[in-house]
Amino acid sequence: MIWAGLIESLVFPLVFGFVLVIYLDVLGYSPVLFGLLAFVMEITHVVVLIGSGYLADRFGRKRIMLIGSIFGTLGMLLLAFLESVPVFLLASFLLGASSGFWGPAFTAMLAEKTSEKRRGYLFSLNSIISHLGSGLITLIAGFIPLFFISEFRYESGEAYRMIYLIALLLKLVALFIIIRLKADKHSIESRDHIPIKKHWKVLLKFGLPHAFTGLGAGIIVPWFALYFKLRFSLEVDVIGMIFAILAFVMAVLTIFLPRMAEKRGTVLISTAFHVSSVIAMIAMPFTPWLAIVVFLFVFRAAMMNIPSPIMTSFQMSKVPEEIRATSISTTSLSWMVPHAAGMLIGGFLWAMDDTLTLPFYIAFVFYVISIVMYAVFFIRVDDKEHAPLSFLPRQLRRH
């Protein structure tokens, strides 16, 4: 499961990470096109999410993961060999469908593989490995276009397409791994009754904070690569190094998250990290020095993202096994719809705002609302009572 997740995590930075927005800029397109492509991808993701969690719970998580991987492979095939606005739109559609099928099924299937007390560690281990892989591929991706331009005299557009050819090969490897995964632990017949209506209130409580986070993230996060390019005139290889550093920092810090959550509680730790994140974000426009802005960017992203595995584990502990994929689908849906709208709005904001500051203020407001909601909803049911655990084998632990 972790190998499959790693391969999938390698692909995202090559698609809707920093690469695509720079690629479109090299081709001469407006930031509005990137916002449109991201909007199409996420709307498709949303439509698929409406039913993918239920389908995974009802018919098997492995089957739905396989469907998602096939869609993603087709999307990469288009990006690797063709270059036009209709192709970009179709690829965005396929990649959005891929994510919609993959995410809920993968999370629910991973949750089956361990006990409740160790689930936070498994999710964190998966996150650590994914961050390391993402950092490595991001670092390499920044140099791939320059390599093909200097060594093979490729045009800029052709050089960037080589990145998507590599992503296509990775998707084929992921497809092979998924085929070899063992089937779901529970039989399909045991999922005939899925009690979704009984738990709608807890699903709503998890979904609302995700909605405001998604809106703020859509306005600010996809545009950081362009922000560094426009404000500091950084080249793609340097931007890639910055994003790679971020991934490695998140991998290292995630190691400590499960133990911190057990000691202080998932909700308290997550809230503290998120508050630190938005403070760093709002400080970026006021900082004139590149080195400090890079530090704030890495700190902001790390503090916002590394609590994700323990928050997902916390969510899995609050819903029954029969609706775990549905639960992930619901919260993902709550995040993706506002995020898609945020990216569409962000495209216009970044195109019209020469000062490059307004998106920061708007995103700040939505992030704060999300943080307050999550704390209010769940601080009374925090999970700090769990006993300490360790990644180490039992014989190597200190007693």
3-class DSSP state for residue 44? helix
Task: Write the single-letter amino acid at 86.
Answer: P
Which pair of structure tokens corresponds to residue 316? 């899995």
d(CA 110, CA 182): 12
Q: Number of helices (H) and strands (E), helices first, in the chain?
A: 17, 0
Residue 192 forms part of a structural domain: no
Q: Could you tell me if residue 105 is inside a domain?
A: yes
Q: 326 near 179, Cβ under 8 Å?
A: no
DSSP classification of residue 322: G
Question: The CATH number of the domain where 323 resides is what?
Answer: 1.20.1250.20
Has residue 54 been placed in a domain? yes
- Please list, in sequence order, all residues whose beta carbon lies within 8 angstroms of the beta carbon of residue 259, skipping any fewer than 6 positions away: 388, 389
Q: What is the pLDDT of residues 204-253, one digit of tens each?
A: 888 899 999 999 999 999 888 888 888 888 877 788 788 878 888 888 88
Evaluate whether 381 touches 374 at the Cβ level (below 8 Å).
no
| 8 Å CB contact between 19 and 159 | no
Residues 6 or more apart whose Cβ sits within 8 Å of residue 239: 18, 22, 142, 225, 228, 229
Give the phi and the psi of residue 194 in degrees, each rounded to 5: -115, 105
- Look at residue 84 and give its three-state secondary structure: coil
Q: Tell me the C-alpha distance between 29 and 173, whole Å.
A: 32
Distance CA(137)–CA(158), nearest Å, equals: 19
**Residue 191: inside a domain, yes or no?**
no
| Structure-token pair, residue 169 | 């090969």
Q: Which of 169, 165, 168, 170 has the alpha carbon at shortest distance from 145? A: 165
Between the alpha carbon of residue 38 and those of residues 223, 291, 365, the distances in Å are 11, 29, 22
Residue 106's domain comprises 2-180+200-385
Rounded alpha-carbon distances, angstroms, from residue 142 to 167, 200, 242, 285:
14, 44, 10, 25
Does residue 187 fall inside a structural domain? no
CA 138 to CA 128: how far, in whole Å? Answer: 15
Residue 289 included in any domain: yes
Low-confidence ranges of the chain (pLDDT < 50): 187-190, 386-399
Tell me how far apart the alpha carbons of residues 134 and 129 are, in angstroms, rounded to a whole number.
Answer: 8
For residue 246, being part of any structural domain is answered with yes
Residue 193 counted as domain residue:
no
N-term to C-term CA, the chain: 31
Domain count, the chain: 1
CB 163 within 8 A of CB 259: no
